[in-house]
Amino acid sequence: MPLPSRLPSLLGIRHPIIQGGMSWASSSAALPLAVSRAGALGVIAAGPMRPEDLVAAIRAVKAGTDAPFAVNIPLYNKRAAEYLDIAEAEQVPILIASQGGPRPHLPRFKARGVVWLHVAASEEHARKAEAAGVDGVIVVGAEAGGHPPPSQVSTLVLVRAVARAVSVPVVAAGGIADGAGILAAMALGADGAQLGTRFLLTEEATVHPAYKQAVLAAGIADTALVGRDGLPVRQLRNALAEAVNGAERAGRPKEEVLALFERHSLKDAALHGDVAWGKVEAGQSAGLIHDLPPAAEVVARLVAEMEAARARLCGG
Ligand SMILES: Cc1cc2nc3c(=O)[nH]c(=O)nc-3n(C[C@H](O)[C@H](O)[C@H](O)COP(=O)(O)O)c2cc1C
Any idea of the CA torsion for 232, 237, 239, 241, to the nearest 10 degrees?
Answer: 20
> Nearest residue CA, atom 8 of ligand 1?
23
pLDDT at 251 over 70: yes
- Per-residue burial over 80-99, b = 16 or more CB atoms within 10 Å of its CB, e = otherwise: beebbebbeeeebbbbbbbe
> Confidence class of residue 315 from pLDDT cuts 50, 70 and 90?
confident
Contacts of 253 (CB under 8 A, 6+ apart): none
Ligand 1 neighbourhood includes 143 CB (under 6 angstroms): yes
pLDDT at 262 over 80: yes
Q: How far is the CA of 299 from the centre of ligand 1 (A)?
A: 17
According to CATH, the topology of domain 7-206+288-314 is TIM Barrel (3.20.20)
Tell which atom from ligand 1 comes closest to the C-alpha of 285: 26
Contacts of 268 (CB under 8 A, 6+ apart): 274, 277, 278, 279
Residues 173, 316: Cα–Cα separation, whole Å: 27
> Nearest residue CA, atom 3 of ligand 1?
22
Ligand 1 neighbourhood includes 155 CB (under 6 angstroms): no
Ligand 1 neighbourhood includes 47 CB (under 6 angstroms): yes
pLDDT in tens, 23-73: 999 999 999 999 999 999 999 999 999 999 999 999 999 999 999 999 999
Tell which atom from ligand 1 comes closest to the C-alpha of 48: 8
- 117 closest CA partner among 127, 130, 104: 130
Mutate which of 17, 18, 19, 22 to test ligand 1's pocket (most atoms within 8 Å of Cβ)?
A: 22
Residues 162, 164, 167, 171: is their CA dihedral positive or negative? positive
Residues 311, 8: Cα–Cα separation, whole Å: 21
What pLDDT score was predicted for residue 316? 62
Residue 282: CA atoms inside 13 Å, Cβ hemisphere, count?
A: 35
> Nearest residue CA, atom 5 of ligand 1?
22
pLDDT in tens, 154-191: 999 999 999 999 999 999 999 999 999 999 999 999 99
Ligand 1 neighbourhood includes 61 CB (under 6 angstroms): no
Ligand 1 neighbourhood includes 235 CB (under 6 angstroms): no
Ligand 1 neighbourhood includes 287 CB (under 6 angstroms): no
Mean pLDDT of 220-229: 93
Ligand 1 neighbourhood includes 139 CB (under 6 angstroms): no
Tell which atom from ligand 1 comes closest to the C-alpha of 177: 27
Mutate which of 23, 176, 279 to test ligand 1's pocket (most atoms within 8 Å of Cβ)?
A: 23
What share of the chain has pLDDT > 90, as a percent? 95
Ligand 1 neighbourhood includes 218 CB (under 6 angstroms): no
pTM of the predicted model as reported, rounded to 2 decimal places: 0.98
pLDDT at 1 over 90: no
Residue 79 one-letter amino acid: R
Q: Domain boundaries in the chain?
A: 7-206+288-314, 219-281
Ligand 1 neighbourhood includes 285 CB (under 6 angstroms): yes
Distance separating the N- and C-terminal Cα atoms of the chain: 11
